[in-house]
Structure 1
Amino acid sequence: MVSRRGFLKSGGLALFGVGLMGGIPSFIAEAAASAKYQAPYKKKKTLVCIFQRGAMDGLMAVTPFTDEYLKAARPTLFMSAARNANGNSLIDLDGRFGLHPAMQGFEPLFREKRLGIVHGIGSPNTTRSHFDAQDYMESGTPFNKGTSSGWLNRAVGLLGHDALTPFTAVSLTSAMPRSFYGDNPSVSINNLQEFAIQMRGNQAGANLAAKSFEDLYDQTASGLLKDTGKESFEAMKMLQKADTKNYKPANNVIYPTSALGNSLKQIAQLIKMDVGMEVAFAESNGWDTHFNQGAGNGIFARNVEDLSNSMISFWNDLSAYQDEVTVMTMTEFGRTIHQNGTGGTDHGRASCNFILGNDVNGGLIHGDVKPLAVENLEDGRDLAVTTDFRSVFSEVADKHLHISNDRILFPDWKGDQIGVMKG
């Protein structure tokens, strides 16, 4: 059973009203309104992680277009960097790798060296199960299924200061992601406008949250409220003073109307509110392209267009805050070299990821992708994992958030970083 302290402390903003159609209970709203408003939290660096669930085909997102083996393996999915009339040619990045044409908005950021790409990235665990691979990547322990915490939650614990705000770690998702499981404060916010806050994926916590707030308030000792209730009231007060419904992005930015676009828009709002957010999380779904994947058009093209346009809108909206923010994508694994009989690709091994920020060693394709001849493939069928995801995640956390204890962040990992960040 979840204790009252656990409910208040771990749930963070659970007092906002999980599952309540009527919104914020009046007695809590009144308490928040009468509390003394404090100045915004000191501006800090923010790491924004986007999980592409379903396994993105990295070989289609960033294609080694000079590779004849890939061309032969994908007779209807392969795209060239040569200009053609239908506009479906790849964007030549460096003479070997080409960016999918639906991600054309990424090209200026790559040329400006703000966007870095890591290819051949993946997990050392060879599972092709979506659930297991996502779990391993989010826990940061690819050979230990019993790890109770997520790597981003551990990162929060290594930030070097007490969590002074309930917004330190925020996931813009309907349920708490595995990455945020753990003892350090973290919250999941489905929608800022509705204050739809979720507990940390714990059914017992969800049941407790559904109880009467008056009962919970009455049963909670004043000592607990001093520590946790005050944070929740202050958090509510911050959001009440912000006109989240009528938020207007900077530079006339228009976000995609997708789930990812909406999540990043809300993350931008929180960053600009200076509420002390240091880790943010969002999701992009629909990357499991077994059927009718498409090349220049189709399911995959729509997905990468939404990913890139959402990230670009977010970046342009940040304006003066860009020096404080780094965005990193991740996906559980890649797709097979050969296309299948239904015009798609199946579960593979390595993929690629994108890292955006002013402290990124951008304009480069990091990692090692050998010619895709059968002797260089994992199991004779997949792009080999040549960069352990932990080497990238740890470097981004180390350089951007100034976290240096990799033994806690990624237990059992002793690898090297690859130079994807400056400094």
Structure 2
Amino acid sequence: MATRRGFLKSGGLALFGVGMGGIPHFLSRTVAAGNHITRPFERKKILVCIFQRGAMDGLMAVTPFNDPHLKAARPALFISAAKNGSQPALVDLDGNFGLHPSMNAFEPLFREKRLAIVHGIGSPNNTRSHFDAQDYMESGTPFNKGTASGWLNRAVGLLGHETATPFQAISLTSSLPRALYGDNPSLAISKLSDFAIQMKGNPTGASTAARSFEELYAQTSQNLLKETGKESFDAVKMLKASYDPKYQPANNAVYPNSNFGNSLKQIAQLIKMEVGLEVAFTESGGWDTHFNQGAQQGVFARNAADLAKGILAFWTDLEVFQDRVTVMTMTEFGRTVKQNGTGGTDHGRASCNFIIGNNVNGGLVHGNMQALAPENLEDGRDLPVTTDFRNVFSEVADQHLQISNDQALFPDWHGKKIGVMLG
């Protein structure tokens, strides 16, 4: 039988498409009883994580353009930093690394030292399975398939308060990601214009979940109110009262008209609504570039532009909230150094990631990358992993969210920070 505490603590509760007209009537009646909307969640730090599904080619995103081995391995994919006719060149970052031209929206953030890049990052587990590699990265336990919780859900539990708001951890995706599975409450919100309640992993169970929630609430309303506290209902009330379906981004920020751009726009909206958001998650797809990857144009270039323009718009839109937000990307692995016979790249090992914030050690490409000579490559074909993803994820969590229990966040990890965040 479902218990009140079990329901409240379940990581399986997901709110899909938080639209203000669709808040369940029983919950609306409860939160409408008060006349004053307080804002108890101001000044919280917020971590926004973006998973690049499909394995981004880090060597194309941030290219060591002086390496002759890379140029030889990629005759159709290599882009130079030298200006050459009508084709766009790499954005020269430091004389050694260059951003893909479609990522030029990142350049001002890098020059302002708000963007740090880590190259050679990846998992110590050498699987080339998308499913397994994503699972390991989101669980934070790359050698333990049986970990039930995700590292972001564990981070929520280490933030030092007991379910202060139901909107503490939110994923702007159609289902709850592996990183947010666990005992701590988290929500999956696909659109702010629609609202439904659904149990994790059960797309057809919305009405059942809603009924069980109302039945449970009806049976134990007084105790429920006592346990969750006024703050939880204030957050729901704020969400309903503050949502603007005609939201206009600040500073004329222009989000890409894509699923990714729209998800970031909604995260910015939630941040500004002060509903207690502390961990946000979204996804960028299409990075599995086996075929016709393209150089200056093509599928990689389109995805790269969507990512960089979306993040720049998000950062610009945040305005005064920038000091409270850090954005971090991740991808399950990288691509082969050598292009394949179909104009693409195959599953590899290390990639790179991007960290944006006012407290990052920005304007630098961190990590350790040797020349891409065959003898330096993993299995003679891949950029080796020289930075365990947990070294970076733990440092960001420590410095931004003030989570210092590394063993609880990443069990069986005993690595060192790499200096990607300012102390």
Range class of TM-score, shorter chain: over 0.9
Check whether the contact 1:170–1:189 (CA below 8 A) recurs between aligned residues. Answer: yes
Deviation of the 1:231 alpha carbon: 6.0
Deviation of the 1:205 alpha carbon: 7.1
Of the structure 1 ranges 77-86 and 48-57, higher mean CA displacement relative to structure 2 is found in 77-86
* Alignment partner, residue 75 of structure 2: 75
Question: Cα gap change, 1:285/1:197 in structure 2, threshold over 3 Å: closer, same or farther?
Answer: farther
* Alignment partner, residue 28 of structure 2: 29
Deviation of the 1:277 alpha carbon: 1.2
Q: What count of residue pairs does the alignment treat as equivalent?
A: 421
Equivalence map 1:22-421=2 (5 Å)? 23-40=22-39, 41-201=41-201, 208-211=208-211, 214-220=214-220, 222-228=222-228, 233-421=233-421
Deviation of the 1:161 alpha carbon: 2.6
Check whether the contact 2:291–2:344 (CA below 8 A) recurs between aligned residues. Answer: yes
Q: Deviations for 1:363-405, whole angstroms, at most 9, x for unmatched residues?
A: 1010011111111000111000000000000000101111111
Structure 1 letter corresponding to 2:367: G
Check whether the contact 2:124–2:385 (CA below 8 A) recurs between aligned residues. Answer: yes
Of the structure 1 ranges 307-316 and 157-166, higher mean CA displacement relative to structure 2 is found in 157-166
Of the structure 1 ranges 232-241 and 364-373, higher mean CA displacement relative to structure 2 is found in 232-241
Question: Cα gap change, 1:408/1:212 in structure 2, threshold over 3 Å: closer, same or farther?
Answer: closer
TM-score by length of 2: 0.93
Deviation of the 1:238 alpha carbon: 1.3
The percentage of aligned residue pairs carrying the same residue is 70
Check whether the contact 1:12–1:228 (CA below 8 A) recurs between aligned residues. Answer: no
CA distance in 1, matches of 2:397, 2:29: 39
Q: Deviations for 1:209-258, whole angstroms, at most 9, x for unmatched residues?
A: 15466544434464235434966643331121113301111111121111
CA distance in 1, matches of 2:213, 2:123: 43
**1:345 alignment partner, SS class:** coil
Structure 2 letter corresponding to 1:382: D
**2:335 alignment partner, SS class:** coil
Question: Cα gap change, 1:308/1:263 in structure 2, threshold over 3 Å: closer, same or farther?
Answer: same
Check whether the contact 2:168–2:276 (CA below 8 A) recurs between aligned residues. Answer: yes
Check whether the contact 2:156–2:279 (CA below 8 A) recurs between aligned residues. Answer: yes
Of the structure 1 ranges 127-136 and 266-275, higher mean CA displacement relative to structure 2 is found in 266-275
Check whether the contact 2:197–2:207 (CA below 8 A) recurs between aligned residues. Answer: no
Structure 1 letter corresponding to 2:140: G
Of the structure 1 ranges 379-388 and 193-202, higher mean CA displacement relative to structure 2 is found in 193-202
CA distance in 2, matches of 1:231, 1:11: 19
Of the structure 1 ranges 347-356 and 80-89, higher mean CA displacement relative to structure 2 is found in 80-89
Deviation of the 1:342 alpha carbon: 0.8
Question: Cα gap change, 1:57/1:241 in structure 2, threshold over 3 Å: closer, same or farther?
Answer: same
CA distance in 2, matches of 1:48, 1:421: 15
Of the structure 1 ranges 33-42 and 225-234, higher mean CA displacement relative to structure 2 is found in 225-234
Deviation of the 1:276 alpha carbon: 1.7
Check whether the contact 1:12–1:166 (CA below 8 A) recurs between aligned residues. Answer: no
Check whether the contact 1:18–1:210 (CA below 8 A) recurs between aligned residues. Answer: no
CA distance in 1, matches of 2:250, 2:274: 16
Check whether the contact 2:50–2:328 (CA below 8 A) recurs between aligned residues. Answer: yes
CA distance in 2, matches of 1:229, 1:305: 43
Check whether the contact 2:17–2:193 (CA below 8 A) recurs between aligned residues. Answer: no
Deviation of the 1:85 alpha carbon: 1.7
Q: Deviations for 1:281-325, whole angstroms, at most 9, x for unmatched residues?
A: 111111101111000000000001000000000000011111111
CA distance in 1, matches of 2:16, 2:132: 32
CA distance in 2, matches of 1:233, 1:273: 14
Deviation of the 1:274 alpha carbon: 1.7
**1:104 alignment partner, SS class:** helix
- Over the residues paired in the alignment, what is the CA RMSD in angstroms? 2.3
Structure 2 letter corresponding to 1:404: S
Check whether the contact 1:19–1:210 (CA below 8 A) recurs between aligned residues. Answer: no
Deviation of the 1:19 alpha carbon: 11
CA distance in 2, matches of 1:196, 1:231: 21
CA distance in 2, matches of 1:347, 1:335: 5
CA distance in 2, matches of 1:270, 1:76: 43
Of the structure 1 ranges 84-93 and 393-402, higher mean CA displacement relative to structure 2 is found in 84-93
CA distance in 2, matches of 1:19, 1:42: 21
Question: Cα gap change, 1:58/1:130 in structure 2, threshold over 3 Å: closer, same or farther?
Answer: same
**1:35 alignment partner, SS class:** coil
Consecutive unaligned residues in structure 1, runs of 5 or more: none
Question: Cα gap change, 1:197/1:299 in structure 2, threshold over 3 Å: closer, same or farther?
Answer: farther
Structure 1 letter corresponding to 2:278: E
Check whether the contact 1:43–1:276 (CA below 8 A) recurs between aligned residues. Answer: no
CA distance in 1, matches of 2:408, 2:159: 12
Of the structure 1 ranges 221-230 and 94-103, higher mean CA displacement relative to structure 2 is found in 221-230
Of the structure 1 ranges 70-79 and 221-230, higher mean CA displacement relative to structure 2 is found in 221-230
Of the structure 1 ranges 153-162 and 90-99, higher mean CA displacement relative to structure 2 is found in 153-162
CA distance in 2, matches of 1:58, 1:235: 39
Check whether the contact 1:92–1:99 (CA below 8 A) recurs between aligned residues. Answer: yes
CA distance in 1, matches of 2:92, 2:17: 48
Check whether the contact 1:176–1:198 (CA below 8 A) recurs between aligned residues. Answer: no
Question: Cα gap change, 1:169/1:84 in structure 2, threshold over 3 Å: closer, same or farther?
Answer: same
CA distance in 2, matches of 1:31, 1:18: 21
Check whether the contact 1:7–1:205 (CA below 8 A) recurs between aligned residues. Answer: no
